[in-house]
Structure 1
Amino acid sequence: MAGNRRNGRPYRRLCEQQRALGLPCWVCGRAIDYQLTGVDGQRHPLSFTLDHLVPLSKGGDLLDPINARSAHRRCNSARGNRMTVKQAGTSRWW
């Protein structure tokens, strides 16, 4: 297979379907501002990104809607390819 599947139409469609749900971040439980965009080529850390319940490196399906989750960019990055997430509300945010 040639090319990056994350640049294809099916992946972009899945991202748009997930974005349209308007769900909070599945990692931290906080609301996502779906209007945030990047500045100077940098993506905002609290912007929407498509995360996968089962990471792709662990055999998760890139295009399966059941595997798709809404997340903040920084939450997705911090989780990496771990199968678990810290439960929302257990960190000390004050």
Structure 2
Amino acid sequence: MAGNPRNGRPYRALCAWLRSQRLPCWLCGHNIDYNLDARHPLSFTLDHEQPLSRGGALLDKTNARAAHRRCNSSKGNRTTPPRQPKRPTLRW
């Protein structure tokens, strides 16, 4: 009987590969603190650009992106990232 594929060695290797690159969150653009506990909302999580529920590949490196847990959750299974609120500028 097969278990959860996200607990397997290939998936953990993909997460380790992506984590080693220390990339910023692809959804919001801010840096990720890779030392945070996995339950923290701003911790690293692997996001799939093409969601698995829409045909994305679980172990495809070209589909894997670094994201904050909060950003990944807010994206859900949409193919486009949610719109981020515009920040006010200090220019008058």
Give your verdict on TM over 0.5: yes
Which residue of the partner structure matches residue 25 of structure 2? 25
CA shift at 1:91, angstroms? 1.6
Whether the 8 Å contact between 2:36 and 2:43 is mirrored in structure 1 is yes
For residue 69 of structure 1, the aligned residue among 61, 65, 68 is 65
Point out where structure 1 has 5 or more consecutive residues left out of the alignment.
none
Letter in 1 for 2:11: Y
For residue 44 of structure 2, the aligned residue among 41, 45, 48 is 48
Point out where structure 2 has 5 or more consecutive residues left out of the alignment.
none
- What's the CA shift string for 1:10-50, capped at 9, x where partnerless? 00000000000000000000000000015xxxx00000000
CA shift at 1:2, angstroms? 1.1
In the comparison of the two structures, how many residue pairs are matched? 88
CA shift at 1:92, angstroms? 3.9
Change in 2 beyond 3 A, CA 1:27/1:56: same
> Structure 1 vs Structure 2: percent identity of aligned residues?
64
Which residue of the partner structure matches residue 13 of structure 2? 13
- Separation in 1 of the partners of 2:5 and 2:41? 23
3-state SS of paired residue (2:46): strand
Pair member with larger Rg: 2
